[in-house]
Structure 1
Amino acid sequence: MAAKISVGQIPAMFARRQQTAFGVGRRLQSTSSQTQNPAYPLYPSVAQLLREKGIPKSDVSKIPASGPKGRLLKGDVLAYIGKIASDYPATQAATLAKLTHLDLSNIKIAAAQAPAAPAAVEEKVVAAPPPMISVAVSVSLAAVLSAQKKIQDNLGVTVPLSRFLAIATDIANDDLPRLASFKPSADELFEEVLGSEPINTSRGAYLPELNAFEAPQTVRSKPVTEDLIDFLSAKSSKKSAPAAYVEPASGAASNVFSLTVPVDEQVRAKEFLERIKMLLSVEPARLVL
C-alpha cells in the first residue's frame, strides 16, 4: 500500500532533494580535472611552450593543470598535445607529493654493539743478522819504517806511520770486486743495453783493524875492558860484572790487519787486505811522495 504524503511534508522533501543535488555537484566538481588557476600567471616556460606549439590562449582553460595551486606545467601541455602519456603529469605530481613527506616508519633503533675485542699485539719480526767472518792478513812494516827513515834523513821531514796507513787504505778501497748478490741500477742496465761493458767493481768503505805484536829483543852480555894501570896498581880487587845491554832484534814487528765482515763479503774483504799488504811492502815511499 503506497504511503500517503501530506501537504505539510512537501517543503521538507523539496529541501532534502536540493541538498542531495548540491552534494552530487560538489563530488562531480572534485573528481573533474582542474585547469590553470586564473589567480596566477602562466610560468614563462609554459608560455614559451604554448607559443612554440601554436596553442592559442583560449585553449589554455581546456588543458588539465597538475601544478601546485592549480598552475599549468609544461608536462600538462605536452600531455595535452600527445607528446607524453596523458597520466604522466598526474603520476609525477603524486610522486612528488609523496616525496615531500619524510617517511620514518621504517626506522628502527639499532641494537647496542658488543665492545670489540682488543686487537692482538703484532709481534715484530726482527731479521736475524747475517753470519759474520773475520778475515786477516799479516803485513810487515819494515819497508814502511825504512822509507820513513830515508825521508827523515834526506828531506828532514817526519812522515807519521798513520799517514802511510791512511793513504794505503784509501787506495785499496778503489775498484773492489762487487758482491755476487749485488743488483745493478737502472742506469747501468740501460748502458749495458747500449753496448757498454758491465761494471763489476765498486768502491769499498773498509777500515782495517791493526794488531801489532812486538818481536822479542835480544839481551847480550858486553865484555868490560879493565884499565891496565888499575890492574897493576891492584886498585881493583874484584872484576866488575859484565854489563848487559839490549840489542834490537833483526826485522820489524809482526802486524796483523783484520776485518770482520758478512760471509758473502769474504772475497771482497780479502782482496782489500791483500792490496794493503802490497802497498805497504812494495815501495811505500810512493804513497807520500
Structure 2
Amino acid sequence: MAAKISVGQVPAMFARRQQQVFGVGRRLQSTSTQTQNPAYPLYPSVAQLLREKGIPKTDVSKIPASGPKGRLLKGDVLAYIGQIASDYPATQAATLAKLTHLDLSNIKIAPAPAPAAPAAVEEKPVATPPPMTSVAVSVSLAAVLSAQKKLQDNLGVTVPLSRFLAIATDIANEDLPRLASFKPSADELFDEVLGAEPVDTSRGDYLPELNAIEATQTVRSKPVTEDLIDFLSAEPSKKAAPAAYVEAAPGAASNVFSLTVPVDEQSRAKEFLERIKTLLSVEPVRLVL
C-alpha cells in the first residue's frame, strides 16, 4: 500500500524546487462530482504527480476522480490543474466502460451450409505383383555330417545342423551382385563424383527353403555258400537263395535348397544358392571354428 506523503514532509532542499501551487482560479472544475474514494490509497504515480505539481494533501478530496471504484487518476490531476481538457478523463472513462462490455447485438446466426456433393471415389490402380520364379540347387550334407562327427569325437562338442545352415546363409548373403534395376543412393553418387569406384554388390536377405530327399539305398547280396556234398554229387542245391540286405550309404542324403524370387532376381538368387552349396560341401567345419 502506497504511503501518503505531504509536501511538508519533503526535505527543505527538495521542497524549494517544487513548483508553485496553481491558483484556484486556474483549476477547472470537472462535471463529475465523484472524488477519491478514501477506502483506497492513492496510486503511486498519482501521489508522485501531486508532489511534483505542489498540490497539498488537503486538496485531493476536491479533485474529481474518474478511475475504477472512485480512484484518482493522473488524468484527473492534470485536468484539475488545466494541463489537459477538463472532459478528457470522463471521456476516456466512458470509452473504457463501453469497451468492457461485449456488444452482441449485431451477431446473426449464419445459415446452415448446403450439404456438399459427395466426392467421386477415385479408383486406385491395383499394383500388379511381379512375375515370380523358383530357383533350386541340390546340396549334399555328407560333409556337414562328417564335420559333426569329428567335432563330437575330438572335442566332445555337438554342433546342430541348424547352426551350420544359419552361418552359411549369413555368409552367402554378403556382397551379392546388385540388380540391373538398382538405383544408387545420393551418397554413392557423390562418392563416384569424388572419384570412388561404383559399388556393384550389396547384402542380400535371402532365406532358403530346405527340402530333404531320401538317401539312395545300396543293395548288397550275401555270398552263397554251396554245400560240398552237393558239389561232389553234381546235384543242384535245393536251398533257398539267401535274402539280400539293404544298406544306406552314410551321408548320401541329398537336400534341395530353393528360393522363390522375382524374375529379375533369378541370377542373384542362383549365386546365393551356389555359395550355400560351396560352404556346406567344402570344409564346413570352418563355419563353426
SS at match of 1:90: helix
SS at match of 1:127: coil
Q: Is the 8 A contact 1:224 1:240 kept in 2?
A: no
Distance 1:150 1:15 in 2: 115
SS at match of 1:188: helix
Matched residue count: 289
Q: Is the 8 A contact 2:36 2:64 kept in 1?
A: yes
Q: Is the 8 A contact 2:216 2:252 kept in 1?
A: no
SS at match of 2:210: strand
Which sits farther off after the overlay, 268-277 or 210-219? 210-219
Q: Is the 8 A contact 1:132 1:262 kept in 2?
A: yes
In structure 1, the residue matched to 2:45 is: 45
| Alignment deviations for residues 103-162 of structure 1 (CA, whole Å, 9 cap, x no partner) | 999999999997554322222322111111111111121221222222222222222111
CA apart distance, 1:166: 0.8
* Distance change >3 Å, CA 283–CA 136, structure 1 → 2: same
Distance 1:133 1:3 in 2: 97
* Distance change >3 Å, CA 229–CA 287, structure 1 → 2: farther
Q: Is the 8 A contact 1:36 1:71 kept in 2?
A: yes
Q: Is the 8 A contact 1:212 1:256 kept in 2?
A: yes
| Structure with greater Cα Rg | 1
CA apart distance, 1:268: 1.2
The gaps in structure 1 that reach 5 residues or longer are: none
Q: Is the 8 A contact 2:26 2:81 kept in 1?
A: no
Distance 1:85 1:25 in 2: 15
Identity within the alignment, %: 90
CA apart distance, 1:172: 0.4
Distance 1:254 1:18 in 2: 117
Which sits farther off after the overlay, 25-34 or 246-255? 25-34
* Distance change >3 Å, CA 63–CA 232, structure 1 → 2: closer
TM-score by length of 1: 0.54
* Distance change >3 Å, CA 170–CA 114, structure 1 → 2: closer
Q: Is the 8 A contact 1:140 1:252 kept in 2?
A: yes
Q: Is the 8 A contact 2:192 2:198 kept in 1?
A: yes
Distance 1:141 1:162 in 2: 12
The gaps in structure 2 that reach 5 residues or longer are: none
CA apart distance, 1:213: 0.5
* Distance change >3 Å, CA 23–CA 246, structure 1 → 2: closer
| Alignment deviations for residues 171-192 of structure 1 (CA, whole Å, 9 cap, x no partner) | 0001111111111111111111
Mapping for residues 252-263 of structure 1, pairs under 5 Å = 252-263=252-263
In structure 1, the residue matched to 2:225 is: 225
User: Where do 4+ consecutive residues of structure 1 move more than 6 Å?
Assistant: 1-114, 223-241
Which sits farther off after the overlay, 265-274 or 73-82? 73-82
CA apart distance, 1:216: 3.4
Which sits farther off after the overlay, 227-236 or 274-283? 227-236
Which sits farther off after the overlay, 246-255 or 171-180? 246-255
Q: Is the 8 A contact 1:152 1:158 kept in 2?
A: yes
CA apart distance, 1:13: 80
CA apart distance, 1:247: 1.2
CA apart distance, 1:87: 31
CA apart distance, 1:249: 3.2
SS at match of 1:219: strand
CA apart distance, 1:215: 2.2
CA apart distance, 1:246: 3.0
Which sits farther off after the overlay, 223-232 or 45-54? 45-54
SS at match of 1:28: coil
RMSD (CA atoms): 16.2
Q: Is the 8 A contact 1:223 1:243 kept in 2?
A: no
In structure 1, the residue matched to 2:143 is: 143
SS at match of 2:134: strand
In structure 1, the residue matched to 2:107 is: 107
